[in-house]
A and B are shown apart, each in its own frame.
Chain A
Amino acid sequence: MTVTATVGEELEAVEPAAVRLTGVTKTFGKGGVPVLDGIDLSVAPGEFVCLLGASGCGKSTLLNLIAGLDPASSGLIELPGKGSRPGHAALMFQESALFPWLTAGRNVELALKLRGVRAKAERREEAQRLLGLVRLGSAYDKRVHELSGGMRQRVALARSLAQQADVLLMDEPFAALDAITRDVLHEELVKLWSETGLTVIFVTHNVREAARLGQRVILLSSRPGRIAREWRVEIPQPRRIEDAAVTDLTRQITAELHKEISRHGN
């Protein structure tokens, strides 16, 4: 008991983390091939990490494990959280997954209610503020189907922020959007991140997007999913998707990704 506590404290002292994965493995069903194999990953508070990999390599699986929606087959997933409260991860999906029976504002309010904000007036005010953060203050009473894809994802982002989680997990949140809208949302997200000190794990199969957003880009291999390579990105934000440095990095990462995928052809 005392021993583990000491070890924990030591690790904490060495490297504070918002999320720490140690030897995480996930196998679906009995005796199947592992989808994820021996993932070690530590994400610092306030860090923006992009998780990159081909379709089907296990990116969504990994986020679901971190969010606690599925159990890991083995290994350790720690979200230390702040103070005595255990950590919590908010998960944002590719489709907005907003509840269609609620208005935009009510969707955000529900997240606040389930977080434990009791007073109705307080929920309303906070939801209005969060929608304002994603510049949708005027869409409070709009139904989900009245919003465009990009606007839905911004409401979903506001809803995730309402959870006040220690980590924001984003599962290809902009994959279904057109390039112009995606560009705008990148800008929006980076701005929110730099203003609020969020910790973000952003999953994508789009190399350029990863290079545009991440402070760190982690390349996952496929079958089994392992961490193949990692880049620290020193290009300062705000970046633009057409910046030469971003393009350079994109080229480098793409080369690695292609190598990784080609291995499966033989």
Chain B
Amino acid sequence: MATEVVEDLVPEPEAEFTSLEAGLDALETAAESRKPWWRRVLLAKVLPPVLAVVALLLIWDLLVLAQIKPAWVLPGPADVWDELTSNWSTYQISAAIWDSVSRGVIGFAISVVVGTVLGLSIARIPWLRAAIQPILSGLQSLPSVAWVPIGIMWFGITSGTIYTVVLLGAIPSVTIGLIDGVDQIPPIYTRVGRNLGARGLNSARHVLFPAVLPGYVSGLKQGWAFSWRSLMAAELIAVSPHLGPGVGQAMAEAGDNNDMAMAFGILIIILVIGIGINAAFFAPIERRLLRSRGLVRS
């Protein structure tokens, strides 16, 4: 009698197994609690930097109000704003921004092409890699502004000089990012790819390229920062009427005029462009890439 009852209590194996598995799946999968997107974006991503900027402006204004330095040495935010708006056209700021950004973008684009070709060949050919990698690391730590005098002696004050400096600044970052990306491909992925039947182009497209992408994108991001930085350094030094306007040239002009408020204004413009392009293009791509692979918390 007792045995019979026990027998009855044991569920049918198949059903028991199915519900056990379903229970495990439910327990082991993280419970999703998603806040509305605007709260995640606004509160977590947008608000903190905005607050920091406001705080910075406040501190700056307080320092000016305290009159620790005369106004022509330390102009206040309002002075800078006034100077920027009233002398915007005198300094040809619009044209300068347009010219600098297009130079930066063109220089960056060339760096991406050259850096990618270079990175791919270096990563695949061991002896070439052994030969070139130390030089690249060295180049990356060399401030590219050091090339300006040499560029001027080679090309005179021309676009050639500017692009030389930008390329020498950005190419090492792009190349190194790509080499690192290739190095960091877990060998198991290539083995799985081969076992699934991916050879040659298929392997490159379905396994190698996606595996390399995070390293490559972070190399691009750094490459852009170096492009912009080098461009500003070059423009600041290589000033000539037939080179046309540029943000760096405008800064040099402000310096020549002893126009402190304008110098501050242009500094802010340089910052905003550098940060803006990163925030608009590279940061979102990188974030999406990492989040979709579970490499950062979303």
Contacts and interface: CB of A to CB of B under 8 A. Distances in A.
Interface residues of B, number: 29
Interface in A71-120: 89-91, 93, 95, 97, 99-102, 110-111, 113-115
Given A148-B25, A180-B24, A184-B20, A114 B293 contact: no
Contacts, number: 82
Interface residues on A, range: 35 or more
Contacts of B210: 99, 101-102
Given A101-B210, A101-B293, A150-B28, A69 B191 contact: yes
Given A69-B191, A101-B210, A146-B29, A115 B197 contact: yes
Contacts of A69: 191, 194-195
Interface in B116-170: none
Interface in B242-286: none
A140 to B, nearest CB: 14
B98 interface: no
A143 interface: yes
Contacts of B191: 69, 91, 97
Contact of B189 (A89, A97, A135, A184): A97
Interface in B175-213: 188-189, 191-192, 194-198, 202, 206-207, 210-211, 213
A143 B194 contact: no
Contacts of B5: none
A181 B20 CA distance: 9
A148 B31 CA distance: 12
A3 to B, nearest CB: 33
A177 to B, nearest CB: 10
Interface in A128-155: 135-136, 143-151
Nearest to B192: A97
B52 interface: no
Interface in B20-44: 20-22, 24-25, 28-30
A163 B197 CA distance: 9
A197 interface: no
Interface of A: 67, 69, 89-91, 93, 95, 97, 99-102, 110-111, 113-115, 135-136, 143-151, 159, 163, 180-181, 184, 187-188, 238
Nearest 7 Cβ contacts at the A-B interface: A145-B294, A148-B28, A114-B197, A100-B293, A101-B210, A91-B195, A114-B196
Interface of B: 13, 17-18, 20-22, 24-25, 28-30, 188-189, 191-192, 194-198, 202, 206-207, 210-211, 213, 292-294
